[in-house]
Chains A and B, each alone.
Chain A
Amino acid sequence: MTGHAPDATRAPGFVRTYLWSTDHKTIGLQYMLTGMAMALIGAFAAYVFRMQAAFPGASVPLFGRVAAADYNYLVTMHGTIMIFWVAMPVLLAGFGNYLIPLMLGCDDMVFPRVNRLSYQIFFLSSVVLVASFFVPGGAFGGAWTAYPPLSANSAYSMTPFGSTLWLLAVALEFVAFLLGGINFITTTMNSRAPGMKMFDIPIIVWTIMIAAVLFMGSVGPLVAGAVMLLFDQVVGTGFYDPARGGDPVLWQHLFWFFGHPEVYVLLLPAMGIVAEVMVVFARKKLFAYRTIVYSAVATGIISFFVWAHHQFVAGIDPRMASLFSVTTLIISIPVAEMFFAYIATLYGGSIRFSTPMLWALAFVAEFLIGGVTGIFLGSAGSDIYFHDTYFVVAHFHYTFFPIAFLAAFAGITFWFPKMFGRMMNETWGKVHFWGTIIAFNICFIPLFITGTAGDHRRIFDYSMFAELATPEMQSLRILATRALLVTLAFQVVFVVNFVYSLFRGTVAEANPWKANTLEWLAPSPPPHGNFVTMPVVYRGPYEYSVPNRDEDYWPQHEPDEPADPDAPGARRPLQQPA
């Protein structure tokens, strides 16, 4: 055990506790709350451009008439914010920071001050991004993928400041997550509780750590690419300018070499949350723990070899396209394997449909739709037709909405008692769940249909395209927009429930769900330094419903009972905590 804060025993003051903290729990919550605040901006952007898509030219309440440039920057900012400023901070940095030291049974990350720096840089990046809305020319409008030459030349993008600030914000965010990722990996490698072997680590810690490695391995080329794009914007180089010998497709390669592993950087933590929630509410040992770990590793490795499936229409060599079709289809195997293991975990369990479990189950069901429709886009033949249609939009929302929201809600409702010492309201939790799930599906299923009918995704005003502006298509767009409004309205239920439970919820005990992992040993909420006495680990994290035991759970830190040393899953007591 090394490197923990020297003041671990002393209670810090207000600023040190909430604003300038090195405590991993505070930093985790800072990330999470910043992400949730950014989600409001991202959701507002979606509301405005969907209103424009359904009712072109109408004045949108709270925004006004949407000009073409507004539409472009709203779509761009929606994508950028939801991926980089919501999914990343909430799933990876928020849950990662909060849970890793608690679940490993240590008192903090190994580099607490690096951790604080990580959040501060992330906060700065959020400020830069939000500031870009207010500069002359407005925020960047070249889509979240920022393809040159549109993004490289302000004569095309018409956002001389917005596009540079966008790039700067994204670069700062990458620095923040690299710092955080190094902390995650070194903590997991070096700072586990005595007795916790490699295969006693909870799945979510595994998945977050693999995600951090993936991020680290894939973001570098994009950092280099971003420097080149920055120079194209401000110094006058021509890296991506074909007129000067440059190559715009180079950016696509560098962007998607990161961009596709990024999908798994977000998927894996979400899968981890779902695993933790499922075992607790199925009261059953996780099925095929090691297979899940190996599948997650395999997913990570294969994710480095699929990126060009985003570029089937970019003029790449057709032989390369068939190669990338094959790798893309292959990656569905380990992911599917993880899902099958989850379903097998449910089989024969005594399932309790508490709110976190509903979110976890919905994640599996909804993500499957996203995964299956991905097959059509991974195959070059069908993708050439579907490319840049609303079919793509619907597909990745069926992957990212479950990741960024369903899994995040599962995690928040599950760990809320640990984070704040109070339970969330179950009834309102279920109202929020059903309202969100039903409305979400009504929102995006119509977009599969319009996409199949040829609806291009980057059109500001459909009334200008006679073949797309038919009454049938328009009625589907209006249906999707109305469902979006309902989805957004139901989030008010969540916010109210969250704030109300924060102050008035039933007081939670240390282990309200009767779960095994170490974070439930710490008091709710855990104090500075986490544990009253540092835990020692005696068994894996998923010993639920072990035969011949009175309780249906068996926490990792409980020593074996002397009477029954040979119980399944039991391990010899340690001689001495190392």
Chain B
Amino acid sequence: MTGIPTGRLAVWWVLASEIVIFGGLLGAYIMHRIGHPEWEGQAIHTNVWAGGFNTFVLLSSSLSAVLAHQAAERGDGKSAARLLLLTAAGGATFLIVKAFEWTAEITSGFTIGSNLFWSFYYTAAGLHALHVLAGMVILLFVAATAAKNIELHRVENIGIYWHFVDIVWIFLFPLLYIAK
């Protein structure tokens, strides 16, 4: 009826519901941040280099997701699966860097309960990390079926989701790390 394949349509609606979840959280953060200029003193302790590296990793993983989609369009399930695994590896790298980053921050005494800036920092980045993790699980599932050359339309669908996860990070990185 719409001409859009049903699976892709559903992914777009999932994203619509996700946008408002992050929208609510980030909207609340921005309003607080405007009201608390002194949070600058907290934000200075975030690791911009680690965040920047993660941004680079996540953006690159989106590239391999696009290449996987291209391979799936050609009907080449095998290389689509390989590229999806590469994408998932990007997600894993992101989470590993994050784990080191958080460990350093927590041992320096900046925990989720320290003050409201860090509460927002861990809540927003944690919710995003959860999405990265979920995306990786789905990537592995889709890669498994794509390797058998079946259900290739799923490669595009998980790609759309992965780009969304990417874009959320594009908002989080400047808001939590760069804004000083």
* A interface footprint on B1-40 (CB within 8 Å = 1, 0 otherwise): 1101111011001101111111111011001100010000
Given A182-B10, A235-B113: A220 touches B4 (CB 8 Å cut-off): no
> CA separation between A244 and B115, bound complex, in Å?
7
Chain B residues positioned under 8 Å from A271 (CB to CB): none
Q: How large is the interface on B (under 10, 10 to 19, 20 to 34, 35 or more residues)?
A: 20 to 34
* Interface size in chain A (residues, C-beta < 8 A): 39
- Of B7, B24, B113, the contact of A237 (CB 8 Å cutoff): B113
The reply to whether B16 and A216 form a contact with Cβ atoms under 8 Å apart is yes
Chain B residues positioned under 8 Å from A223 (CB to CB): 21, 24
| Residue B168 interfacial (CB < 8 Å) | no
Given A221-B20, A231-B123: A216 touches B116 (CB 8 Å cut-off): no
A185's nearest neighbour on chain B, judged by CB, is B13
| Residue B103 interfacial (CB < 8 Å) | no
Chain A residues 145 to 160 lying within 8 A of chain B, measured CB to CB, are none
The reply to whether B13 and A191 form a contact with Cβ atoms under 8 Å apart is no
> CA separation between A238 and B25, bound complex, in Å?
15
The reply to whether B24 and A224 form a contact with Cβ atoms under 8 Å apart is yes
| Residue A189 interfacial (CB < 8 Å) | yes
The reply to whether B17 and A231 form a contact with Cβ atoms under 8 Å apart is no
> CA separation between A245 and B31, bound complex, in Å?
13
| Residue A516 interfacial (CB < 8 Å) | no
* B interface footprint on A237-263 (CB within 8 Å = 1, 0 otherwise): 111000011110010001001000000
| Residue A222 interfacial (CB < 8 Å) | yes
> CA separation between A244 and B113, bound complex, in Å?
10
| Residue A236 interfacial (CB < 8 Å) | yes
- Of A183, A216, A224, the contact of B28 (CB 8 Å cutoff): A224
The reply to whether B9 and A190 form a contact with Cβ atoms under 8 Å apart is yes
| Residue B119 interfacial (CB < 8 Å) | yes
Chain A residues positioned under 8 Å from B5 (CB to CB): 2
The reply to whether A238 and B116 form a contact with Cβ atoms under 8 Å apart is yes
Given A190-B9, A220-B23: A231 touches B16 (CB 8 Å cut-off): no
> CA separation between A75 and B116, bound complex, in Å?
32
> CA separation between A257 and B17, bound complex, in Å?
14
| Residue A37 interfacial (CB < 8 Å) | no
The reply to whether A220 and B127 form a contact with Cβ atoms under 8 Å apart is no
Give the Cβ gap from B38 to chain A, nearest Cβ, in Å. Answer: 9
Give the Cβ gap from B5 to chain A, nearest Cβ, in Å. Answer: 8
The reply to whether A178 and B17 form a contact with Cβ atoms under 8 Å apart is yes
Given A182-B13, A217-B20, A220-B18: A227 touches B127 (CB 8 Å cut-off): yes
Give A contacts to B, CB under 8 Å.
2-3, 110-111, 178, 181-183, 185-186, 189-192, 216-225, 227-228, 231, 235-239, 244-247, 250, 254, 257
What are 27 A-B residue pairs whose CB atoms fall within 8 Å in the complex? Answer: A181-B17, A189-B2, A189-B4, A189-B9, A191-B1, A192-B1, A216-B13, A216-B20, A217-B17, A217-B20, A220-B20, A220-B21, A220-B24, A221-B23, A221-B24, A221-B28, A224-B25, A224-B127, A225-B24, A227-B123, A228-B28, A228-B123, A235-B112, A235-B113, A238-B119, A244-B116, A245-B32
